[in-house]
Amino acid sequence: MERMEFAPCGVARGLATGKSRSVALVIPDVADPFFPLLIRGIEEALRRRGYGLFLCDSGQDIQKERANVRMILEQRVDGVILNPTLSDPDGQLDLLDKRAIPYVLLDRILEGRNAGAGVYVDNRKGGRMAADLLLGGGARRLLFINGPEALSVCKLRRLGVEDACRERGLDPASILTGCGDYSVASGERVTDGFLGRGPVPPFDALFAANDRMAIGAMRSLRKHGIPVPEAVEIVGFDDVEIARLVEPPLTTVAQPAFRMGRKSAELLLDLIDGRKPRRRTIIMEPELVLRGTTRPR
């Protein structure tokens, strides 16, 4: 069988068994540097058990996301790892439910559904860690640039920020808030908006819900001649590769992307095999990485 170079036909086996030995990953944007490590983790877990990975980048486009789900259903994948686009994907989750295709949600919490499996970091804690670092460093006025608040993770990060305020006896309503779309450009734009109003920045600390927006904010501050971290301290979220390459290197709340990917794939494979995983939702710990956009503590 080795020498004949025979490879059993997965398609025929798939038809006979009803299992295609493949899973799909649906993400909103491959270009987001948060995904590469995640994908690596997923692939490692899948390969170990002989599964292939269908990649579906919906490009932030709900139309494409629909098309992707349709294609997934046709290709008869055994399961789906879903990191939904901004818009509400519940219609698509219903489709998966109806077809009894197991799925794991990455970085999104389902409020209505009780049966959903998911993997994510403790976003509330992450938000609290970031805000607490800044407030503990003497910040008087915090600007929080959140992602799209329709996403549960964003809501949670905001709650964490508010926790930190309350713990220090501050009114959560006193923090400035902006909202971006996770892109560098949006972080820059939001920050520009707050800086346009006068010569003195109305904030002395800034927390962005991801590193890309934090880097956008850094660009805005540099443009306005405001020194980081001397006049404004900055904390990001994710710890992507760029974070350590910008100048000064970005202090950030790290997500264990590789482990998240691996874990979500393992969880999905357990569901596919009909095993009952002990925990269907897995919450990982964020970790503060101190670099150059905050003053030494």
- d(CA 102, CA 41) in angstroms, rounded, equals 19
- For 138: left if phi > 0, alpha if psi spans -120 to 50, otherwise beta; the answer is left
Complex with DNA: residue 101 or 206, whichever CB lies closer: 101
Binding segment (CB under 8 A) for its own copies, from list 64-72, 117-125, 274-282, 289-297: 64-72
Q: Which does 215 bind (CB under 5 to 8 A by kind): DNA, its own copies, none?
A: its own copies
Complex with its own copies: residue 47 or 166, whichever CB lies closer: 47
Q: Which of 2, 3, 5, 8 binds DNA (CB under 7 A)?
A: 8
The distance of closest approach from Cβ of residue 16 to DNA in the complex, given in angstroms and rounded to an integer, is 3
User: Per rule CB under 8 A, is residue 7 in the interface with its own copies?
Assistant: yes
Q: Which does 94 bind (CB under 5 to 8 A by kind): DNA, its own copies, none?
A: none
Report 206-265 residues binding its own copies (CB under 8 A).
215, 219, 222, 241-242, 245-247
Interface pattern 34-53 for its own copies (x via CB under 8 A) = -xxx-xx--x---x--x-xx
User: Per rule CB under 8 A, is residue 83 in the interface with its own copies?
Assistant: no
Q: Which of 98, 276, 278, 279 binds its own copies (CB under 8 A)?
A: 98
Q: Which of 3, 5, 17, 296 binds DNA (CB under 7 A)?
A: 17
Binding site for DNA (CB under 7 A): 8-9, 12-13, 15-18
